[in-house]
Amino acid sequence: MCKKEAETPRHLLLHCEVASELWSMFFCLSSINWTTPLTVKDAYESWSLWKVDKAIKKIWIMIPACIFWCIWLERNKRCFTNSLALA
């Protein structure tokens, strides 16, 4: 997506500058400190260990998938329309 490194799941979904910016935006809005995990599996595992209020647990569990999906859509948009703007 950034055209600076090989596209691997971990780079695309976690470490790419575009993905990193999206993750940072989410954590800044939610006032959470998070160190980017090494792998996507580690991200899901660490995410599921987070202690959150029972009222938001079902939503909380879906957040990584939603962010991954947004990144995937943006990646496809850039690949197939040659656009560089994050929608």
Using the rule CB under 5 A, which residue among 13, 16, 43, 67 binds Zn ion?
A: 16
For the CB of residue 25, give the shortest distance to Zn ion in the complex, in Å: 16
CB atoms within 10 A of CB 75: 18
For residues 13 and 16, which CB has a smaller minimum distance to Zn ion in the complex? Answer: 16
**DSSP string for residues in 18-41:** HHHHHHHHHHHHHT---PPPSSHH
Instruction: For residue 2, state whether it binds Zn ion (rule: CB under 5 A).
Output: yes
Cβ(47)–Cβ(64) under 8 Å? yes
Instruction: For residue 22, state whether it binds Zn ion (rule: CB under 5 A).
Output: no
For residues 2 and 86, which CB has a smaller minimum distance to Zn ion in the complex? Answer: 2
